[in-house]
Structure formats: structure tokens, C-alpha cells
Amino acid sequence: MESFIAGLPKAELHVHHVGSAPAETVIELASRHPASKVPKEAGELADYFAFRDFSHFIEAYVSVVDLIRTADDVRLLTIGIARDLARQNVRYAELTVTPYSSVRRGIPAAEFMAAIEDARIAAEAELGVVLRWCFDIPGDAGLGAAEETTRLALDVGADGLVSLGLAGREAGVSRAQFKPYFDRARAAGLHSVPHAGETSGSESVWEALRVLGAERIGHGTTAVTDEALLRHLAEHRIPLEVCLTSNVATRVVADAEQHPIRQLVRAGVPITVNTDDPLMFGTDLNREYAVVARLLGLSEPQVADLAKTSVETSFMDPLAKRRLMTEIDVYLANWMTASRAPEEHHA
């Protein structure tokens, strides 16, 4: 199964720009900015990302964000991510980017956009990885951050931008207060993909759906506590972007066995498999697929179907979707043919 997953063409829909930096990229950035408390050795870095709780995770995340201080840092980060995605046979990824954080730290908005776009173009040309951007509002930074993020998205913009998101702490940060910003983004043609139901109850998922017009939900694990919500998600085919190892690492769930993914699938809710912040959680997309396959008892064709769900619910254009779906089908057919050949020869 692990070999099958490693070669499987995949898409990823919930992965944060800073949190998906390969360790070597973070170490190089920390060396560029030696005053940072982020470790400069691989072993120490792994220990640094052992989290007590969700708040501790946010603290560590912000310390890595602080390493991104120049447009060249942004390029280094982004192309490093693309190389890591290519290694995993990820063909398409929607990276959650927080331009507010970088612009507030002094990178001019135009330079930030140019840096991510330069890296995006290079990733596609040189690595065959298509990157698209979700500009997210850091919700716990308040409405000023929401206003600035929306301005950066709509007035400055980037060619690869497809959606507006909402991340950060959920406790005490109502989804509904961000309605004006999502209304503006949606009117401009951007999709709505807020986080909700990760560290707060199912009411935050309802707010994301009813008030923000969410087309997918980031995490949404607490939906499992609300039968009406599960029915709504299943009936309207609204996917949850499941990040299983992330939920364990941030203590949202006690362990993988306690994760509600089985209940979600039994309820008919579409799910996609994602890493969230793979650097910080010691994972990658191949590992996440393997964990989900084990928990759900999936066969290779079922894992391929799971990969196709990410393609179907992505914001790539219809032709690109068909091409990637066909690539997955061809890969599966070749795999199944090759796996039957030894049995036929033996018979």
C-alpha cells in the first residue's frame, strides 16, 4: 500500500505555506536570521515542534513566520515546498498563504506577490507541480487583518489566487464577523474555504456555511457531534479537509484511533486527505494517505477514489481536473495489472 501511495498522482487542498517548508529550508532561513529562536539543527527542530496544545503550536508557527523577512526568503520557501510536493507525486496543491503576516513584517506587498508568483511559475515549468493560492485571514489578529488581507487579495492580487480562507485560533473568534470580507471576495470570483470546527464546536461550521458561504471546510472534525450538520454536509456534498496527524499533534484528538474520520465517512461526508503543516507535524501527504487507508481499511482502488475526491473538489479548471483524474485511473489500472501478473504466472 505504501508503494502504491508513493506513486499515486495526488492533489492537496489544505496545506499552509510556512508550515509546509521542508526542514532544510527552515534551517537555512534560521541561519540567515540567527537571532531567531528557531533551531538550526534537524534534531533540535523536531523537538521544537513537539506541541503541548493548540496554543503552543500557534506560538511555534509564528516563530517560523518571523523567519520570512525578504522577498528572497519567500521564493526560497515556496520553491522548497514545490520540490517536496514533487517528491510525493503531488501534481496540484492549493497552498494557504498569509500575506498579511509577511507584509506586516516589512515585505512590500508587490514584492511578496512577485516572489510567490515567480516560484509558482518555476514549480510548474521545472517540477510539474501546479500551485494555487488561498489567501487566509489570521482570525485572531482581528478585523484589521481581515481588511488588509482582503485588500491584498483584491487590490494587489496574484495570478494563482483562487480562494479566501480563515485560520488561527477559533475560540472567541466568531466566523460570522468576517462576513463582509468573504462577501467581497466571493463577489470578485474567489472561493470560500474557512477553517472551522477544529478547536471549537459544530456551531462554527454552521457559521462558515451559512454566513461565509464555505465551499469546503478546513478540518471540521467537530461536525461529528451534530447529526443535522452531518446530513447537511453529505446532502450538499461539502467536503471536509481532513488533517489527521495535525489533529493528533495539536491535541485536538487524543490519537489517530480517536479521530472521527470513520464516523464522517459512514455519514457520507466527502473527505479529502491533507497535511496542514507537515514540517511541524512530522508528516507528508504519502504518510497521511497511509494512515487514512489503515484506519478505514481501504484497498488500492478505494485509495485512488480518495485521491480523486481531492481533484473533484479542488478549484483547478475542468480540463486539468479531467487530465489528473485520467492520470490516476491509468496509474491504478497499471498497478492492478502488474499486481495480478505474478499470480497469473504462478497459476
CB 306 within 8 A of CB 87: no
Catalytic (active-site) positions: 198
Instruction: Say what the pLDDT of residue 343 is.
Output: 62
**Cell digits of residue 336:** 492492478
In angstroms, the CA 31 to CA 21 distance is 15
**What is the amino acid identity at position 245?**
T
Where do the structural domains in the chain lie, given as residue ranges?
2-335
Output the tens digit of pLDDT for each of the chain's 347 residues: 999 999 999 999 999 998 888 888 888 888 888 888 888 888 888 788 887 787 888 888 888 888 889 999 999 999 999 999 999 999 999 999 999 999 999 999 999 999 999 999 999 999 999 999 999 999 989 999 999 999 999 999 999 999 999 998 888 888 899 999 999 999 999 999 999 999 889 999 999 999 999 999 999 999 999 999 999 999 999 999 999 999 998 889 999 999 999 999 999 999 999 999 998 888 999 999 999 999 999 999 999 999 999 999 999 999 999 999 999 999 999 999 998 766 655 55
CATH of domain 2-335: 3.20.20.140
Contacts of 111 (CB under 8 A, 6+ apart): 71
Closest of 147, 136, 135, 205 to residue 176, by C-alpha: 205
Q: How far apart are the first and last CA of the chain?
A: 23
The sheet with strand 191-196 has its strands ordered as 10-16, 90-97, 130-138, 161-167, 191-196, 217-219, 240-242, 271-273
Q: Which residues pair with 163 in a beta bridge?
A: 134, 191
Interior/surface letters 56-75, b for 16+ CB within 10 angstroms, e for the rest? ebbebbeebbbbbbbbebbb
Beta-ladder partners of 72: none
> Taking the model in full, what pTM does it have?
0.92
SS (H, E, C) the chain: CHHHHHHCCEEEEEEECHHHCCHHHHHHHHHHCCCCCCCCCHHHHHHHCCCCCHHHHHHHHHHHHCCCCCHHHHHHHHHHHHHHHHHCCEEEEEEEECHHHHHHCCCCHHHHHHHHHHHHHHHHHHHCCEEEEEEEEEHHHCHHHHHHHHHHHHHHCCCCEEEEEEECCCCCCCCHHHHHHHHHHHHCCCEEEEEECCCCCHHHHHHHHHCCCCCCEEECHHHHHCHHHHHHHHHCCCCEEECHHHHHHCCCCCCHHHCCHHHHHHCCCCEEECCECHHHHCCCHHHHHHHHHHHHCCCHHHHHHHHHHHHHCCCCCHHHHHHHHHHHHHHHHHHHHHHHHHHHHHC
CB atoms within 10 A of CB 105: 14
Q: For residues 95 and 132, is the Cβ–Cβ distance under 8 A?
A: yes
Q: Which of 186, 129, 140 is nearest to 163 (CA)?
A: 186
Give the per-residue pLDDT at 203: 95
Cβ contact 286:306 at 8 Å: no
